[in-house]
Amino acid sequence: MKVSYHGHSVVKIETNGTNIYIDPFITGNGETDLHADDTKADVILLTHGHNDHVGDTVEMAKRNDALVVAPFELATYLGWQGVNAHPLAIGGGYDFGFGRVQLTQAFHGSSYTEEDNQKIVYTGMPAGILFTAEGKTIYHAGDTGLFSDLKLIGEQYEVDLAFLPIGDNFTMGPRDAALAAEWVKAKKVVPIHYNTFPQIEQNPADFINQLSTSEGIVLKAGDSIDL
Any domain includes 111: yes
pLDDT digits (tens, 9 = 90+) for 117-171: 999 999 999 999 999 999 999 999 999 999 999 999 999 999 999 999 999 999 9
- Residue 224 maps to a domain: no
Give a yes or no: residue 205 inside a domain. Answer: yes
Q: Render 158-225 in DSSP notation, one character per residue.
A: --SEEEEE---TTS--HHHHHHHHHHHT-SEEEEES-SSSGGG---HHHHHTT-SSSEE----TT-EE
Are 21 and 53 in contact by the 8 Å Cβ rule? The answer is: no
Query: What local confidence, expressed as pLDDT, does residue 138 receive?
Result: 98
Q: How much is the average pLDDT of 98-125?
A: 96
For residue 159, the model assigns a pLDDT of: 98
- Confirm whether 227 is domain-assigned: no
Q: Is residue 132, in this structure, part of any structural domain at all?
A: yes
Q: Which residues contact 183 (CB under 8 A, 6 or more apart)?
A: 148, 150, 151, 153, 154
For residue 50, the enclosing domain spans 2-219
- How confident is the model at residue 27, as a pLDDT? 97
Strand pairing class (99-105; 93-96): antiparallel
Ramachandran region, residue 2 (left: φ > 0; alpha: ψ -120 to 50; beta: rest): beta
In a domain, 47, yes or no: yes
- Let me know if residue 225 belongs to a domain: no
Q: State what percent of residues in the chain have pLDDT above 90.
A: 99
**126 close to 71: Cβ distance less than 8 angstroms:** yes
In a domain, 89, yes or no: yes
Average pLDDT in the chain: 97
d(Cα 158, Cα 111) in Å, to the nearest integer?
31
How many structural domains is the chain composed of? 1
Per-residue pLDDT at 141: 98
Helix (H, G, I), strand (E, B) or coil at 133: strand
- The pLDDT of residue 151: 98
The confidence score (pLDDT) of residue 75 equals 98
In CATH, what number is assigned to the domain containing residue 195? 3.60.15.10
- Over range 28-33, report the average pLDDT: 97
